[in-house]
Structure 1
């Protein structure tokens, strides 16, 4: 492979440079979303921060567009750019835990499994994504919503510092004391300001997590989902979870007549022991579930439970909604009827609140006080189902729009236009973010993302 590498980038490059003619090219450009088929001119797999600066300089000298790859899990596939250069961070996946300070230094290419397993050795954790394959970088920079958020806050609320390389090759550290304007922007502003090569995250004591997954046939939804709504609105911060229409797996806790069919699942997580969880979820146990599990599990194991096969076709969206009236709940339930069955698709309803709503109010996260998120995820394998799958996701989004809060967690959606991006930050935050963008990326080099254009 190395004999074909452009010497302008190969010189002193510690990682791997992969070109379209190289044997590992197709594997290196594969993303979680199998619908994405982009062909970069160069994939620069960086082994250290100097590699990142060299790759950016190479792209600048040759006029190549740049994208940044962390976990490669983003549904829009913005980690790749046709004909451009990919700054691939996957070699930078190390996690170093300081158990006394309760912090972890996380490489920019780490995924949640890397972080969760490293911190679990010390009985510590922080808010992570709901699947283990999510890249830590994009997750945190976008805000970071996960199972632990009601107790420990959003992922970005636990951000201590970020080390980045800017478009012109500078190494910049952002914290409350250093470059505080950039630190503010990195709490939800995404990958607009540089290549984040490492994060220092605040950790919390957590060895195990109480978990309940209760299953019903889908027709029980109009009775069960309102009960879940009422349960969560009264729940303490230790309780998290979600409602999820899904295809029930062939597992011991799934009744034979539900396995492989559409089912309603209610997930309840508890930062506490199994007995504490059982006492708290007693109101949901009154509704005659058909199957399920109640257990106390290591947090990394919980994080793996919703992992999906990489390479499926993916299309997602979301709608943040106000307090759910019965009419909205009924509409949410009815929309499950058009899911592709069988498939890995899910039709979810997540509660926020708790430490999310009570967290720092100054960051560019206008959805912090939103109580609920409807999040349809279509995952399928047959291209013949493309039109149907996308139509279902769009129908969910538009059908729930009448109850919308007008704000949005951008990590949950793909390419949905400038107005939806504006919902993700709000007008006032957009103006301030554009000013920060002008300072750190005035030429909008980092534009393959949910983009913020630099202020004029």
Structure 2
């Protein structure tokens, strides 16, 4: 049936319709997690807002489940619907920067590196994650942590307006003055209400220079070093984002990322002597663009992956010990500091929750052999469970397979009720449910 109606769909498109067997079909359905091998009935590579409208209406006419792909970083492959219609936003990568107004308009299929490169030409930037091949849409709609967040807020705090295609195929705009309730929900509520085809961001004059400080300790000396690192974080300047990680090599790396004039980090570097004597020290100055590309992975769309996360409002000694021991597993764990401008935003201003977070905790593992799936996933779950008693909520973008329980952890009860009401208004039949789903009170129609 799909082949028979192909001409009628293609006549309406500026972009491309891909069916199984077409050149480009397998490439388009391949996402960051190599465990995902689902096969959509059709893929529409949208080259215009009108294509997104056509794709939504086509899916509804054919009663096909909708998946929306931008960067493809969902750990459980939510972009790829089995036997459904995948809307691939990858062709929508246009960006325009107005340096005088300090504004950037970027289409919903762009990756963060596109936004960084366009704005850095003028020494400007906005909070845009830590990995340049992440999609602007998925990151921003869930909140959007990044190296600039302690100075300027989350990515969603820097959005001035959204252009969105609704479940009915209508194109709407949301800002503080236009559809303010939708604007509130898009700032942290994920892809539950529609498909955002353009973001308008506020930019900030950050210059182009950064510094990364890393101090590596053997595991048997990690606990006292982490205690000193935690205490230094209390008074950290907003230019600094503290980080800590333990890899599969059982070495603990503690430090910070500084965005701004590296010379201004000299006092903090001196204070890091309180951590003790590290086995290795790396102090590196680099451009902001290089910082944003630093954690990119060449093999990003081939490895099998599983991850979990928590928000921590405190990091007591017992939590430090649990962090180091990782539930007896050897999977990687990491911490990234919040605070600063993130906490300055009143909690009621956006759907994003848990602004009192001190650190975000993440644990994850990568592998290649499908026979190792169960063992690897169990190890990551043990590591996350070891930190669960210290957790206070979770970042919605860090959720994997937790389902409704995870969504309840991501939002306060009051915000979740407000999000459900917004879902009832914009997507009462839950057309957009391949996400960390806010289920409407009216139920599903699939």
TM-score bucket (shorter structure): over 0.9
Q: In the TM superposition, what is the alpha-carbon distance from 1:360 to its structure 2 partner?
A: 3.2
Taking the aligned partners of 1:230 and 1:420, their CA distance within structure 2 comes to 30
Q: In the TM superposition, what is the alpha-carbon distance from 1:202 to its structure 2 partner?
A: 0.8
Q: In the TM superposition, what is the alpha-carbon distance from 1:3 to its structure 2 partner?
A: 9.0
Deviations 1:24-74 (A, max 9, x none): 211111000001111100110000000000111111111111111111011
Range with greater deviation from structure 2 (270-279 or 8-17): 270-279
Range with greater deviation from structure 2 (155-164 or 305-314): 305-314
Task: Tell me if 1:139 matches 2:139.
Answer: yes
Task: Tell me if 1:281 matches 2:272.
Answer: no
Q: In the TM superposition, what is the alpha-carbon distance from 1:423 to its structure 2 partner?
A: 1.1
Taking the aligned partners of 2:255 and 2:63, their CA distance within structure 1 comes to 48
Corresponding residue for residue 223 of structure 1: 224
Q: In the TM superposition, what is the alpha-carbon distance from 1:293 to its structure 2 partner?
A: 2.4
Task: Tell me if 1:444 matches 2:433.
Answer: no
TM-score if structure 2 supplies the norm length?
0.94
Task: Tell me if 1:427 matches 2:413.
Answer: yes
Corresponding residue for residue 310 of structure 2: 319
Check whether the contact 1:336–1:347 (CA below 8 A) recurs between aligned residues: no
Equivalent in 376, 397, 400 of residue 384 of structure 2: 397
Taking the aligned partners of 1:380 and 1:221, their CA distance within structure 2 comes to 26
Counterparts of residues 219-258 of structure 1 (less than 5 Å): 219-246=220-247
Taking the aligned partners of 2:238 and 2:23, their CA distance within structure 1 comes to 50
Corresponding residue for residue 333 of structure 1: 324
Q: In the TM superposition, what is the alpha-carbon distance from 1:217 to its structure 2 partner?
A: 2.5
Corresponding residue for residue 376 of structure 1: 363
Corresponding residue for residue 343 of structure 1: none
Taking the aligned partners of 1:278 and 1:337, their CA distance within structure 2 comes to 37
Check whether the contact 1:165–1:171 (CA below 8 A) recurs between aligned residues: yes
Corresponding residue for residue 19 of structure 1: 19
Task: Tell me if 1:297 matches 2:286.
Answer: yes
Deviations 1:285-339 (A, max 9, x none): 3422222322332112111111222121111111222311111101101118622
Corresponding residue for residue 258 of structure 1: none
Corresponding residue for residue 178 of structure 1: 178
Check whether the contact 1:349–1:373 (CA below 8 A) recurs between aligned residues: yes
Unaligned stretches of 5+ in structure 2?
Answer: none
Equivalent in 358, 366, 372 of residue 385 of structure 1: 372
Range with greater deviation from structure 2 (377-386 or 432-441): 377-386
Corresponding residue for residue 114 of structure 1: 114
Range with greater deviation from structure 2 (231-240 or 331-340): 331-340
Counterparts of residues 141-180 of structure 1 (less than 5 Å): 141-180=141-180
Deviations 1:350-378 (A, max 9, x none): 22111111123221222111212211021
Taking the aligned partners of 2:364 and 2:204, their CA distance within structure 1 comes to 30
Check whether the contact 1:8–1:58 (CA below 8 A) recurs between aligned residues: no
Taking the aligned partners of 2:202 and 2:259, their CA distance within structure 1 comes to 17
Structure 1: 4+ residue segments shifted above 6 A = 2-5
Task: Tell me if 1:213 matches 2:214.
Answer: yes
Unaligned stretches of 5+ in structure 1?
Answer: 248-260, 341-345
Q: Secondary structure at the match of 1:350?
A: strand
Taking the aligned partners of 1:88 and 1:267, their CA distance within structure 2 comes to 38
Check whether the contact 1:129–1:147 (CA below 8 A) recurs between aligned residues: yes
Corresponding residue for residue 454 of structure 1: 440
Corresponding residue for residue 400 of structure 2: 414
Shift of the 285–132 alpha-carbon distance from structure 1 to 2, 3 Å rule, reads farther
Shift of the 435–161 alpha-carbon distance from structure 1 to 2, 3 Å rule, reads same
Taking the aligned partners of 1:120 and 1:347, their CA distance within structure 2 comes to 31
Check whether the contact 1:5–1:18 (CA below 8 A) recurs between aligned residues: no
Task: Tell me if 1:267 matches 2:244.
Answer: no
Deviations 1:253-272 (A, max 9, x none): xxxxxxxx442212311232
Check whether the contact 1:117–1:300 (CA below 8 A) recurs between aligned residues: yes
Taking the aligned partners of 1:337 and 1:289, their CA distance within structure 2 comes to 24
Taking the aligned partners of 1:5 and 1:129, their CA distance within structure 2 comes to 40
Taking the aligned partners of 1:388 and 1:140, their CA distance within structure 2 comes to 32
Taking the aligned partners of 1:63 and 1:178, their CA distance within structure 2 comes to 31
Taking the aligned partners of 2:57 and 2:219, their CA distance within structure 1 comes to 54
Corresponding residue for residue 256 of structure 1: none
Q: Secondary structure at the match of 1:20?
A: coil
TM-score if structure 1 supplies the norm length?
0.92
